Amino acid sequence: MTGKTRKKLSFKHFFLKRFIPLLIAGTLLCVIGTIAIGSMVWTNYETMCSFEFANTKAAILEDNFNGMPETLMKYRTAIYSDHVIDNVMGTQKAMVIADAETGEIIVDSGFALYVFHRNEGDERPNIYICEDKAVLDFLTEQNPLYTDFYFNDMYVREDGSFLPGLVTVTEIDDGFLGGDPDNLIEKDFTPTDQENYQHYSDADRLISISVGAIDDNESICKLTEAVKGKPALEAYDAVHELYKNEDNVLHTEYDTFKFKGREYALYSLATYDLWGELGGMFIVDYTILGVLILIVSAVWAKLSHTKYSAQYDSDELRRNMVNALAHDLKSPLTAISGYAENLASDTHPEKRGHYASAIMENADYMNSIITSTLELSKVENCITVNKEQVDITALVNELYEKYRPQAESKDISYSSNGSCTISADKALTSQALENLITNAVKFTPNGGSITVTAEAKSISISNTCSNAAELRSLDLTAPFVKGSESRSDRTGTGIGLAIAKNACARQKFSLELKPEGNNFTATIKF
C-alpha cells in the first residue's frame, strides 16, 4: 500500500486565504461607511435646515433692528448659507426673500461682509453691509474659511453700506488658534474722499465682523431664478417643479411673514452631492485601504508561510531520516539473521568463527547508527548553551590527536595555521569539530592531506577529496546522506555533518561545506 506524498503549500495559497476575506471585509466596511455618511448627511442636515429656516424667520421678526430691514434680512439669510457650513459633505444651502405679491427679490444669501455697530445707549445694534467688489475680491483671495479679518475703522454711507479702513488678514492655525505673525497680510480700503461717509472706530464703539456666504453657491442662483417675479405660491410650485426629478434635494421650505408693514416670502433650499464633493476623497481613502489590506495580507501570509515551511521541512526531514535509518538498518539486520541461521543449523561448522565475527561487526555498525542518531537528537533538543572563552585552534589540535594513529596509517599529512579564540559552548563546539575531523580522516585517501586554517571569526578544515564533483550535488548536512563511494562503507553513518551543523546552529554559528577541485572544505563561521 502506498500513501500520497503531501504537497507543500505555496505562499500564494496563504496570501489568497488571507487577502480575500480581508478584501471582502474592507469592501463591506467601505459600503457601510458610505451609506452611513450619506444617511447622516440626509438626516442631520435636513433637520438642521428646517431648524435654521425657522430661526432665521424668527430672528428677523424679533430683532427688528433700527432701520435697514433689507440689510438685516440679507445678513440673516447669508449667515444661514454661511461659507463655514456651506459645501460640508457636498451640501449647499440657500435662502431667498422676495416680495410675496410681486416676486421682487429683496435679498439672497450672497457673499458679503457685515458689521454690527452699537451706539452708546442703543438697546440694539445697527447692522451694516459691505458689498464693494474690491473688498470682497480681496477677502475671497484669502480664503475666508481659513483666515480671520480685522479692521479698526469703518466708513458708513447713508444707505447703510460701508468700506473698511486698514484690513489685516491672519491665517487660522489648526482652525482654532491665532495666526503666525509671519502670515500677516494688510490692505487699506480707506476712501480717499470721506465727505459722504460717517467714520466709526472701535476706540469708543463696539464693532463685530461677520463674513457671509460664498459667492459661487449654485443653489442660491437656482433658487433665485426659480422664484424671481412670481407670487409666493406660484414661486414655491416653481421650486418643486425645478427639483421634482432630482433626488439630491435635502430640504425645501416656504413661509410668508410681515416685517415693517410689508409681506415677504421666505424660501429655503438645501441640496447635496455626496459623491461629487467627496468622491475623490473616497477613492483615495479606499485605495489606501486596499493597499493596506494588500500589505497586511502579504505580511501575514509571509509569517504564516515561513512558520508552515519550517514545520513542513522539519517533518519532511524526519520522514526522510526514518526512511534512511530503516534502510541502513535493514542490511545489517538481514546479514545478522542469515549468519545466525547458519550457526543455528550448524551449517559449515568450520565457519562458525567467521559467522560470529560478522554478526558482531554488523551489530557494532547498527549500534553506531543508533548512537549517532541519539547524539543528533540530543543536539537538536539542546536548550541550554553555556558559553566560555574557547581556544578553537588548541581544541582542533587536541581532537586530532585522537585520530592521529588512523591518519598516520593512511599516510595522511596534517598542518594547522593561525589562531582563533571565541566565546562558545565548549561541549557543542567540540562535538561539531570532532565530527568534521572524523569526516576528514575517514574520507581522505591514502597519501592525502588535512589542513586546518584559523582566523579571527572562522576555522576551516580542508582535506583531499577524490569525489568532490559528485558531492557538490548533495545536501551533506542532511542525516544519512553519503557519497556513493562511502555508501557501502560501514565506518560512516552519514550523520556526522548533520550533528556538526546542528551543534553550530544552537550557538548561532554557521557551517559551510565546499567541495572544490580535489579538496573538501568545511568552514565554521562564528
Name the strand (E) or helix (H) holding 37: helix 11-63
Residue 283, domain member (yes or no): no
* Tens of each residue's pLDDT in the chain, 526 residues: 444 556 788 888 889 998 999 889 888 888 888 778 777 766 777 777 787 788 778 877 776 565 567 888 888 777 776 544 445 556 778 888 999 999 999 887 777 888 888 777 777 778 888 889 898 888 877 766 567 778 888 999 988 889 999 988 887 654 444 445 556 788 999 999 888 898 888 766 667 777 776 556 677 778 888 899 999 889 888 888 877 777 677 778 888 988 878 899 988 888 877 666 666 677 888 888 889 999 999 999 999 988 888 888 777 767 766 666 666 667 677 777 877 877 788 777 777 788 788 788 778 777 766 776 666 666 666 657 788 898 989 999 988 888 888 888 999 999 998 988 889 888 888 888 888 888 888 888 899 999 999 998 899 999 988 766 566 545 566 555 555 444 345 455 567 777 788 778 878 888 888 887 788 888 989 8
Q: Write down which residue in 236, 257, 272 finishes a domain.
A: 272
433 and 490 share one domain? yes
Residue listed under C-alpha cell 444617511: 39
Domain tally, the chain: 3
Q: Rounded to an integer, what distance in angstroms lies between the CA atom of residue 512 and that of residue 335?
A: 37
Q: Rounded to an integer, what distance in angstroms lies between the CA atom of residue 242 and that of residue 321?
A: 84
Q: Rounded to an integer, what distance in angstroms lies between the CA atom of residue 450 and that of residue 412?
A: 7
360 and 401 share one domain? no
The one-letter amino acid code at 403 reads Y
462 and 505 share one domain? yes
The predicted model scores a pTM of 0.48
Kindly state the greatest CA–CA separation across the chain: 148
Q: Write down which residue in 322, 355, 381 finishes a domain.
A: 381
Query: What's the domain range around 306?
Result: 296-381
